Amino acid sequence: MRIISGILKGRTINYTKNSNTRPLKDSVKENIFNVLKHSKLIKVRVEDSNILDLYSGVGSFGIEAISRKAEKVTFIEQDIKAANILRSNLDKLSVIDKSKIFNSKIENIINDKIKEKFQIIFIDPPFADNEYIKNLELIKKNKIFKRDHIVIIHREKKTNDDFKNNLKILETRNYGRSKILFALFS
């Protein structure tokens, strides 16, 4: 896996090969950042943003954001092996000071540890996981997002999630097996 753009462009990150985590493909990651940069519907830019990366795995999205001058990324990853590789990647790239890592269940961190607000919230749960919608509800309830914000969700193209009163979908993009939703809390 490589970093596509920014100050860390061309550097690689380590990843884990297990059934608990699924790496974000470089082509999908690149398209997400292109939409963030060029969409007229999105008022938030990566530069100087405070970002929440849920189900962060080894940190592919968040590290790319740091490379593109995000102010800070908060990573939450429950799998200990993935969290250790994430920490190792941040150390290797000398960007640990731009991050905060939580190795726990997302709901525990949102309810007890997060006191700040985010402009970008990236959610990349396992494709079979529908429990992530409860985490969206917690984020909304705890209001840990800024007025100008964007929620980015990576799902399998076939999924048909019900966001009810939680999100207003601005844009949906399909890339191979992946579906990327760009949304705002309603």
71-123 tens-digit pLDDT: 999 999 999 999 999 999 999 999 999 999 999 999 999 998 998 999 999 99
- 163 located within any domain: yes
Per the CB < 8 A criterion, the answer to whether 1 and 28 are in contact is no
- Residue 97 lies inside a defined structural domain of this protein: yes
Q: Rounded to an integer, what distance in angstroms lies between the CA atom of residue 113 and that of residue 36?
A: 27
Q: What CATH number is attached to the domain comprising 30?
A: 3.40.50.150
CA-based nearest residue to 91, from 76, 78, 101 = 101
Write out the residue range of the structural domain in which residue 170 sits: 26-185
**pLDDT on residue 18:** 63
Q: Which residue has the tokens 């959610």?
A: 123
pTM for the model stands at 0.94
Residue 19: is its pLDDT beyond 60?
Answer: no
